[in-house]
Structure formats: C-alpha cells, structure tokens
Structure 1
Amino acid sequence: MTWAQWHTEHEQKLADPHGFLAITSLNFLTETPQRFPDAPGSWSTGPGGVVVELADGESLTIDGVEVTGRQELGVIAERDGINVGAGDAVIEVAKRGGFDVVRPRHPDNPLRVDFKGTPAYEPDEKWVLTGQFVPFPAPRDITVGAAVEGLEHVYESPGQVEFEVLGTPLALTVFNGRAPGSLFALFTDETSGVTTYAANRSLAIDVPDPDGTVILDFTRATNLPCAYTDFATCPLPPTENRLPVAVEAGEKIPYERA
C-alpha cells in the first residue's frame, strides 16, 4: 500500500460517523446516578459494573434489540468497551485507567463534520529505518500518564527497539500491538509542540523478523485521538521515549489544534 493510500484510509477511519471526532463528551461514572445532555438514561457504576436507568420514553439499542428501563451492562475490562445505540448516535461505555466512562458519539458533531484531514510531512525514505528488537528477560508492566489529568495507563512491554538516526544511537520502549507479535511505540521528539502534536505520536511496528530486525517507518507516525479532541484518554509516552532528534516525518499538528 502506498503512503497516500495508507494516509487516506487512516483519515477515513478517524472521520467515521461514530469515530473519535464524533465524541461529544467524556463522563466518568460513580455510584451516584448521573444524567448527561448528549445521552439518554441515568448512568452509574459499582461492584457489579455499569448500570443505566432509562426513563419513560427513553430507549437504547443493545445487540440490535431496543431496550427500556433498567439495564445492567456488567463489568468492563480495562481498555475494553461496548457500544450501544441511541438513535443515530452511539454511546461508548468503556473502562480507561480503572474508571468506567461514557462517551457519546454523534455523527453531526461539528468536529467530525468540519474535518479537513490531517497535515503531514511529505514521505521521505530516509525516515524508513531498520531497527533491532531487544526483548526484556521478561515482559514488564509500564505505567504511563494520560491526556486526561489524574489518569494513568498500564501497558505490558516486551522490550525495546534500538536504531540510529543520523549516527545517533536511540531506543524506544515498545508495547504489544493489535496483531499478535506486532508492536507499537509512543514517542515525542524535537518537533513535538513545534510542527507535531506536543503530547505524543504513535508508531506501529510489524512483527519482528526471527533475528529481531524491524522496520521503523516514521513516515507513518500518527496522531492519537487526543490530538483532535479533549474527550480522549490517550496514553503519554514513557519518559525514555522522548527522542532527542527532530523526526520530520509523519503526521503534524491537526488543523483543529493549530
């Protein structure tokens, strides 16, 4: 897939009618029932998980079935979630940093409707680098901060990727990716807060070769959702992933944050 095709698909996913640009609020649940202006029902959580109480005239769609009254959505695992329907909206119910959250996603949210794409550096092969995956003796749990103050995330790290930029030896602590055996890194660099988003960028890394060789394609470094919306709980890079070089590749500061 060419860089242009990849970037187009990435932007299309971001601008999905129920994607991150459609989020209209971020709500942390407690044992006290709360109502939110952009979602039906009164929401709470407790030892048994998330509960929503729907008033007369209110309904949600769960697993394709319209429901009313009290609905027990159960205990949600960390970094997991479920989506329930509310008209043309989707109500995301998830657990992030140990907290149950509700994030309504409305297709007509102006942030999504007005989305014009994401600026990026022109792809340059000099930023497609070869690295070496060096596994830790045993995977480590690493705690990182989050875009939301007071929130923390814990990720399992299988090791580091070592590489060079302009003769400078560098390393990134990596986490397990979505596909089995794949990896990803969260990082900042000397462009962060200047031409690229200040808090973080993400780099997906394919499964290492049997000898540990990996390709670091920084031309495909992407923004996380927090670069676009304040309603994201994105993780921040570990301290050691603050690269002392200017990675002039990948996505830049979104127009929405310029």
Structure 2
Amino acid sequence: MEANERDYVQSLERGFAVLLAFDEDLTNPTLAELAAATGLSRPAVRRLLLTLQRLGYVANEGTRWSLTPRVLSIGQHYTATKAMIELAQPHLLRLAERTGESASMAELDGQDVVYVARVPVRRIMSINVAVGTRVPAHATSMGRVLLAYSGPEWITRFLEEAELRRLTATTVTDPVKLRALLAEVREQGWCIVDGELEEGLISASAPVRDRTGAVVAALASSTSAGRLVPDKLRNETVPLLLEAAADISADLGYDRTRGTTARDGFF
C-alpha cells in the first residue's frame, strides 16, 4: 500500500526521531541536547517528550531524560512476528559452538544492516553489538551479501545515494569497486570482509533464503584478525557458515535442490 503526502503523519516521524536520538553518546540527554540532535525546536521536543513520558517510553530526572524498559517491547513485538528468528536461533548456537566464534544474523534496512539475532562468544568489537545494532552495509560482510542479492535497481540506487564512509584505512568507498565486489559475492555465494568496519575485525557471511528463494537475511561468523587469517576463515569457517545458512533456509521452506533462482546472475 502506497501512502500519499496527505497520509503522512509528521508528528509520528518526529516522535521516532526523538526516541532514536537516545544512543551511547546521549544516554541521559537534556531537552536542549535532543533538540540539537534532532534538528527540532525545543518547544516541539518538549511536547514530544511529555507525550512519550505519558505513554511510558521515557522518564526524566531533573533536566535529564532517559529511555524506559518499555521501548524494548517494540523490538519484542517484531521478534514475536518473525518466525525466522526463532527458527534461526538453534542454528546460530550450533555455528558458534562449532567455530568458537560469534554468530549473527542481520537484515537490510536502508543503507544499514540491523542485527536481528546474535550469539556472542567474546567481545571482538569496540562497539557493543546486540540485537538491534545498526552498522553500515557497505563495510560489512552481511551488508554486502544482502546488497548483492537485492536486485540491480536497488544496488544502483544504493551506490548513487549511500554515504560510503571510510571507517578504516581499508574501507571500500569507491562505488565502482564496490559494485565489482558485490558481483563477486553473488558469484561465489558468500563474502569475507577484513578490517573495513573496524580495525582487526574479520567476518564471513552467507545468504539465508525464504521458500521463494529470495534472500531475506545474512548469516555471519565474526572474529578478530589475530585469531583467524582470511585464508583460514575461508577454508574452515565458510563451509560451516554455508551449511548453517542452508539449514535455516530449509527450515524457512527453501528447496535447496532447486539451486540458483531466476534472480541470480544479473551482473
């Protein structure tokens, strides 16, 4: 269903902008800090905060505001409606046990990937990665898998509009080079990214398909470069990753005997 401008509720957009402004840098912001972060006026932010407070999503102490545990219910409702996450969890656990490394699953959301399931084994990133964490798609193995199978029109749009930020010295920011890497990912059916999101972080990913053959998520195994070099990750972890992704896809109803789908090979 497509909505026109008359159906657009701007106040709802602004309410979410205020909620999303709370992050690790603004855990207990003031009204002025939230206004600066959202670009909204202080009176507008005040009204939104008071509404969210009445609904139970934020609380204040003096001049400082904070989120309440009720915001977690939004993510819980999403998880409850996604059978894929429940089906994938035992496979992530098994993958983490077999590799001794963290296992994650993510979906594409705009220019980012969002973690929807995760089994951490050890802290390997400076940021605290958990379900709901967003990371740039262009610099991650899960993001490149999801982009590679998203279709030619979306890839072109992404390469034209996305902010391909340089996060480390090795982050690929050239759209032409990134397009070639996505073609390679699609051809081989998996992806390894070494140190592009964060120095010392290396990860491998594989696609997860639904019953129609469409790629709906990416499965990843991540570790530190000091523990595994790319060749070892490719030879030892990728086969286990592909097996786990295939098992999740089978649970979602995908018939792996069909092989590739009609969407493959557009590059």
Instruction: Report which of the two has the higher share of strand.
Output: 1
- Say yes or no: TM over 0.5: no
Q: TM-score, normalised by structure 2?
A: 0.33
Q: TM-score, normalised by structure 1?
A: 0.34
Higher relative contact order (CA 8 A, sep 6+): 1
Instruction: Report which of the two has the higher share of helix.
Output: 2
